């Protein structure tokens, strides 16, 4: 079953993620982190950076792979996912930039970039923990509704809704939001050994309910988490508001023995 943890706020969710990943880095100093952009993972990165500093955790061997990138956007653009990952993860944590990879959205090479990216993840031994946000339409990475649940990293066309949602990063102007992207496929994401999806606010409530308690369907790409052997969904009260089994999730987490781990 997908474990659902209902927290008070993003900070509490961030702490849970940070404790989990800090423990992983200590146990496996060359672990592979799956990284995501968007606002949902930010508290997790912030808390992880604090733990790394406070506990003097050596992160020099940590490797990372981001989920996605806009197609044709200059990697130096402040909203390219290369820039966002550098700003929110690589720099605050002090990771070695050479060990952190983002799909290459350069239009000249994009047709081969997907296969190469999947091969690089595989050569690294696969992702240990993949953090995920979720789009209001249930997308993960940039796998929009209708994406193959077995897909590898590839070019995708963004939906109008995703471009509207992301216009806030481009001066509120949808015309500046790229129309295409390169994203890890759902099959790629599913190979990660542990998935942690975070969602906050009532705008995500419907997508979360579909993900956890709806049928598994490409119409809600995140619902594929139900097929993953180790998936954790961390949500605040607002994002949890449409879950039918809320009381059970709450009870299970409140009574979770320490030995069960995350």
C-beta of 68: minimal distance to ligand GLP in Å? Answer: 5
Is 101 a residue of the active site? no
Q: Are 230 and 40 in contact (CB under 8 A)?
A: no
Catalytic pick among 101, 139, 194, 228: 139
C-beta of 58: minimal distance to ligand GLP in Å? Answer: 28
Query: Quick one: DSSP state of residue 128?
Result: S
Rounded CA-CA distance 97/119 in Å is: 19
The verdict on 66 binding ligand GLP (CB under 6 A) reads: no
Q: CB neighbours of 149 closer than 8 A, spacing ≥ 6?
A: 186, 187, 190, 216, 218, 221, 224
Exactly one of 18, 67, 85, 243 binds ligand GLP (CB under 6 A); that residue is 67
Q: Which is closer to ligand GLP, CB of 13 or CB of 134? A: 134
Is 144 a residue of the active site? yes
Exactly one of 10, 68, 118, 137 binds ligand GLP (CB under 6 A); that residue is 68
The verdict on 69 binding ligand GLP (CB under 6 A) reads: no
Q: What is the distance, to the nearest Å, from the Cα of residue 163 to the centroid of all Cα atoms in its chain?
A: 18
- The pair phi, psi for residue 146, each rounded to 5°, is 100, -10
Is 160 a residue of the active site? no
Coil, strand, or helix at residue 96? Answer: coil
Q: Which stretch binds ligand GLP (CB under 6 A): 24-32, 44-52, 132-140, 241-249?
A: 132-140
Cite the DSSP H helix spans in 42-177.
Answer: 42-54, 81-85, 91-93, 110-123, 160-166
The verdict on 138 binding ligand GLP (CB under 6 A) reads: no
Q: Which is closer to ligand GLP, CB of 39 or CB of 176? A: 39
- Order of strands across the sheet that contains 100-101: 3-7, 231-236, 194-199, 129-132, 32-35, 63-66, 100-101
Q: Which is closer to ligand GLP, CB of 38 or CB of 103? A: 38
C-beta of 199: minimal distance to ligand GLP in Å? Answer: 8
- The pair phi, psi for residue 260, each rounded to 5°, is -75, -25
Place of tokens 């009870």: 251
The verdict on 162 binding ligand GLP (CB under 6 A) reads: yes
The verdict on 40 binding ligand GLP (CB under 6 A) reads: yes
Place of tokens 């308690």: 213
The verdict on 33 binding ligand GLP (CB under 6 A) reads: no
C-beta of 195: minimal distance to ligand GLP in Å? Answer: 12
Is 237 a residue of the active site? no
Q: Which residues bind ligand GLP (CB under 6 A)?
A: 36-40, 67-68, 133-135, 141-142, 162
Catalytic positions, please? 68, 137, 139, 144
């Amino acid at each position: 079953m997908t474990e659902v943890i209902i927290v008070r706020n993003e900070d509490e969710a961030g702490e849970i993620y940070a404790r989990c990943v800090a423990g992983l880095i200590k146990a496996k100093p060359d672990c592979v982190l799956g990284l995501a952009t968007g606002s949902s993972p930010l508290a997790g990165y912030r808390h992880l950076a604090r733990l790394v500093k406070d506990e003097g955790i050596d992160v020099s061997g940590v490797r990372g792979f981001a989920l996605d990138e806009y197609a044709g956007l200059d990697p130096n653009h402040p909203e390219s996912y290369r820039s966002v990952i550098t700003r929110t993860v690589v720099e605050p944590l002090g990771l070695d930039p050479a060990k952190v990879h983002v799909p290459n959205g350069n239009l000249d090479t994009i047709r081969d970039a997907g296969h190469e990216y999947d091969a690089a993840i595989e050569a690294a031994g696969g992702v240990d923990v993949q953090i995920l946000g979720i789009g209001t339409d249930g997308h993960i990475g940039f796998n929009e509704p209708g994406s193959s649940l077995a897909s590898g990293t590839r070019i995708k066309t963004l939906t109008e809704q995703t471009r509207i949602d992301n216009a806030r990063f481009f001066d509120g102007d949808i015309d500046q939001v790229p129309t295409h992207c390169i994203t890890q496929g759902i099959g790629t994401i599913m190979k990660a050994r542990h998935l942690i999806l975070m969602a906050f606010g009532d705008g995500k409530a419907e997508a979360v309910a579909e993900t956890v308690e709806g049928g598994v369907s490409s119409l809600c790409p995140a619902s594929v988490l139900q097929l993953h052997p180790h998936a954790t969904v961390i949500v605040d009260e607002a994002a949890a508001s449409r879950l039918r089994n809320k009381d059970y999730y709450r009870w299970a987490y409140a009574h979770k023995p320490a030995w069960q781990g995350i």
